[in-house]
Amino acid sequence: MAKFTVNTGDVVGRINPNIYGHFAEHLGSCIYDGVWVGEDSEIPNTNGIRNDVVAALKKMKPPVIRWPGGCFADDYHWEDGVGPRDSRPRRVNIHWGEVVESNQFGTQEFVQFCRLVGAEPYFVGNVGSGAVRELREWVEYCNFDGDSTLAQRRAADGSPEPLDVTYWGVGNENWGCGGHFSPEDYCAEFRRYASYVRGNVIACGPSGNDVEWTVRFFRKLRKDYQDFRNIHGFAAHYYCGTAGTATEYTVDQWYELITKGLRMEELVVQQRAAMDAYDPDRKIGLIVDEWGTWHPVEEGTNPRFLYQQNTLRDALVAATTLDIFNRHADKVVMANIAQTINVLQAMILTQGDKMVVTPTGCVYEMYAPHQDGMSVRTTVDSESLVVKGLNGDVDMDVISGSASVKGDTLFVTLTNAHAADAVKVIVSLLGGTRANGGTARVLTGEIHAHNTFDAPETVGPVPFEVEMKGSDFVIELPAASVAALEIALA
């Protein structure tokens, strides 16, 4: 039996809803056929945006969506995607298969998509092949509330009122596809670009948990530009990769990938510690604006389109990662899973007029009540498994989770990573509170289970009977499961 202790009197911090953010890049069929089908499509749409996708995403409550990349961002010129669609230029997408980008989906279309699903837009500007003036004018086009030429152009494109884009990234992966900068050279470029951006400005952080990149960036920023303050976020990327393939893996590989995902906690703790040395008041938020699994692409698809299936194993990776962010709500201000539709660890898969929500999408819908709650301290006493990995054996707790409070409601999420065995868990409440009933749901199945266009509801959350009374109660978590408990507090 495991024990999960929740101390409702020990508040970690507010769970920023942006931790539950998404990422949508012009890559494969994420945008075209995923979000955008065009106004003349027989697929039901609102101004060209798929209605079924909007309805599914609204249930997940995405607070923010990052766009247009990814690597695509540093070869994207925003003026290609505004104005009459029939006169927009056709460009080659050099990063993702050298397909022709029609630019039918641009600034106005993306903002409308965000408004339809209830998300804030997060734009990533072009540093690698762009210019400072280009980003500065994109900000003015989007946000200026006045009578400038660019504001008039925005109005002519259909938006007399400002688009109010809050979040602006200065480049993407500038250590790689965004220009192959050193941390110091990127820092100088960042300062130059950010000088002309009004909004929440986000700098490119490291690939994975590269503490050296972070230290060198902030050392340069403080040494040469001590008074520079226009930096609000610093964004790392972490892909835990794969073990086996998207749908074919052994039990050992099931554990291996979940363990790789759990390394996110190390990244969060160590990156924030490195930033604290230069930003002890935490005015600059730690962001993880690309993360997720990355499997070999599905056979028969274009290898540069990064299309992969999504199983219960991906759901466990998503759930355990979100629990890490919740537990460290004092350290993380935004995270954006890669990606929203048809690419990597997607929420949704589409094929023509068919659409299916993936197990990962189910997790996001189940975890949505955590948004804007107060994260409270949790501890776990669980059986651990020895997982064999490339860098030696790793101990992994079978049970993990997080908890948050809103008013008189406690929301607890728990995962059982054991591939074969159910586990009884004592949920113990500290802080002078007691459970007074509630509701629960669980997502579970055979470890390879996934949804297909022919069987779209193989994996999904179902009601779960739990007697939630008193300061201690027991829940029996099925093998390979994610559970969400909404508990009334007395």
**Which positions are annotated as active-site residues?**
173, 290
Q: Is 454 exposed, middle or buried (0-12, 13-18, 19+ CB in 10 A)?
A: exposed
> Cβ of 78: how many Cβ atoms within 10 Å?
22
Q: How far apart are CA 205 and CA 95, in angstroms?
A: 20
Distance CA 341, CA 318 (A): 15
| Residue whose pair of structure tokens reads 């935004």 in the numeric block | 334
Selection from 183, 182, 172 nearest residue 235 by Cα: 172
Q: Give the pair of three-digit tokens for residue 248.
A: 């074919």
Contact between 417 and 319 (Cβ < 8 Å): no
The residue to which tokens 């692409």 are assigned: 297
**DSSP H helix total and E strand total for the chain:** 10, 26
What does the DSSP assignment read for 274-338? HHHTT-TT--SEEEEEEEEE-PPPPTTS-GGG-----BHHHHHHHHHHHHHHHHTTTTEEEEEEE
b/e for 201-237, b at 16 or more Cβ within 10 A? bbbbbbeebbeebbbbbbebbeeeeeeeebbbbbbbb
DSSP 452-481: -SSSTTSS--EE-----EESEEEEEEPSSE
383-408 b/e (C-beta count within 10 Å ≥ 16 → b)? eebebebeeeebebbbbbbbbbbeee
Distances in whole angstroms, Cα of residue 147 to Cα of each of 18, 140, 161: 32, 11, 11
DSSP state of 32: B
Question: What CA–CA distance (Å, rounded) separates 418 from 412?
Answer: 19
